[in-house]
Structure 1
Amino acid sequence: MAKKTLDDLGALKGKTVLVRVDFNVPLDKKTGAVKNDRRIRAALPTVKHLLDAGAAVIAMSHLGRPEKATPDERKHLTMDKVAAKFGELLGLPVKKAADTVTGPAVTAAAAALKPGEVLLLENLRFDPREQKNDPALAAELAALGDAYVNDAFGTCQNDKDTSMVGLPAALKAAGKPRAIGLLVAKELHVIDGLMAAPKSPVLGIMGGAKVSDKIAFINALLGKVDHLLIGGKMAYTFFKARGVDVGATRVGDEELAAAAPLLGHVGKKITLPVDYVVAKSDDLLQTQVCDGAIPAGYEGVDIGPKTVELFKEQVAAAATIIWNGPLGWFEQAAFARGTQYVAEAMAASAGVTVIGGGETAEAVEQFGYADKMTHVSTGGGAFLAYVEGKKFQSLAQIDDK
């Protein structure tokens, strides 16, 4: 059922809108500086829309895992530098709330907001109640604004987060409107279209490490795609399950068990790499290309040159391509070729090209191809879960049209 969007919120002049954004951005471990601002940029259209309508905006997000951080690590998880980057990209000063998520100082800062101004709350996970869907925290946050917008697709699957579920529920109880932002609306529109009526032929590309983490997603894709290419570390799970020696590449029993039911599709709907780059585990400068058993002491780090050409041909022939998971250790330049060349082929495609968030989104942006894709999702885990058919409690809290 369609959800209310920004246009359904009514007159916003003089109102304060609570916007749940996903500013869980990667940070420099030494300085705490924002390393990649893609998620902040993705939220700007919604924030600008609200400001142009005469509203004040209170943005809120979590950042990292402060509950598991050391005291020194926790210092870098404040929203101070995120607020600075947010303001820089927005072209307006962004006020930063006090060091607590709620409380008198936050209430005062919210009350002082004027139309066209933006306040960013402190890291939501600094309050342990955020991950407990706590009604008291929900009520405290709800009292700060007149309406709620969910523009945090990357955290839509987090059903225990107060800001995603309890907060909009509290606003409903108070008779205040709730809607999805432009980013979430686009994500849902693209994915719903992919799963309902994709242009054929449809190609899926899967990478990353664990088959077990993506088994439901793979099964969902197999029901929609004409062909599925598998690379990354998970490819070696399939090789080992088929009796191929994968050398020093680590493959757990759980992964083998997850791959077993899919082996019947290999050579039919599923294509595995025909060659691969391997590196010596104790000396990554020692590499070679294999098309069979991996030598002892070596591990798979990228798809090989023949596989790159094979995958590029498949991309060129497809009308719709869905890609989730890098095809090699792309963070290392020497092992990024497979991921980069497939990204390049997708960027050149005349078809619909969708990147399923996470590391794949980071990779296509790193290689300069993000703007040439039809859609780059901001939510890796959320993208997978939504395609799998999971019902999000966060979206259930949004008013229906």
Structure 2
Amino acid sequence: MSERFSFTLLANDGAARRGRLSTPHGLVETPAFMPVGTQATVKAMLPEHVRETGADVVLGNVYHLMLRPGAERVDRLGGLHRFMNWPHTILTDSGGFQVMSLAALRKLDADGVTFKSHIDGSMHRLTPERSIEIQGLLGSDIQMQLDECVRLPASRDEIARGMRLSLDWAERSRTAFEGFGGPEAGRALFGIVQGGDDLALREESATALSAMPFEGYSIGGLAVGEPQQVMFDVTAATTAFLPTEKPRYLMGVGTPDDLVGSVARGVDMFDCVMPTRAGRHGVAYTRFGKLNLKNARHAEQIAPLDPEGPTEISRSYSRAYLHHLIRAGEMLGATLLTWNNIAYYQALMRRLRTAIEEGRFDDEAAVIREGWVRGDVVSS
């Protein structure tokens, strides 16, 4: 295991990048998709099975973990890695997304945000300093500054206000990170670019953050309802102003098509609840696109999800059986489909990494998309 965080850029193919993160808990091959373990668990999965899919890193969430079981308790119990039996890399969100998603339960001011717990109504205060303190107590390898994510559409004045508040919080987060010994522990802190769908504000944010000594940079405030092309345009405009020698993380994204398109625009890291949430709701991701196993057309199909899929789940279990499990409300159905979906996302990332190394990213992306286009024919 490495003692300190580092990033090595191994290859380029156009704007697409192949890299490697080194963290105190192992290596992360990029482009990387990080399964979301919001409450110290990737829902419906054992940690060792998540690892078997090829995942190098999972994500935890400050807001949820500070409410339950509490950061101080996790620290007393040996840190988040030991607590959740995941000895590999962990990235933690700062709680900034909840500043947006729980707007009805919070009060925002220049110093921080006060939340009313969605669990029991108790009041909690989150500032940039407290967010970094919590992440240090959890012991995550990659930490995020506290930011304000403004929901789109919004006025330019509102987007600019949120972006500049996030810049102020970035400076405070960095000071706190250094004060709590993050660099000495080998950990990383990422700044978060905000600016909504305004390219000039994105440039201002990215330029200001690039002048700060962050180990990596995140692109926030996207995947919040804007059209995909807007997300792609903002991502491309933002990466143009970020340091090439440091990792770029597009937060909360997304569909397989989002991932391929964003890798093409220079992004290295992704997270999203989509594959796990879809699995719990009866949807499987395959190289032929999505399959809704709730549909009656699967009730007598003996074919597997994909005879050439990345796991025994996709190759061995019939669609009829998976349909039965989902319709019967059996927990095994959610587990098997979640397992399949995470494995599909990891296999997709491996394909993209290999294609970048071999200088054929555009061709591989076209093959992947063609599989989804032909999905209704091939998978029926």
Question: Normalising by structure 2, what TM-score?
Answer: 0.36
Question: Normalising by structure 1, what TM-score?
Answer: 0.35
Bigger radius of gyration: 1
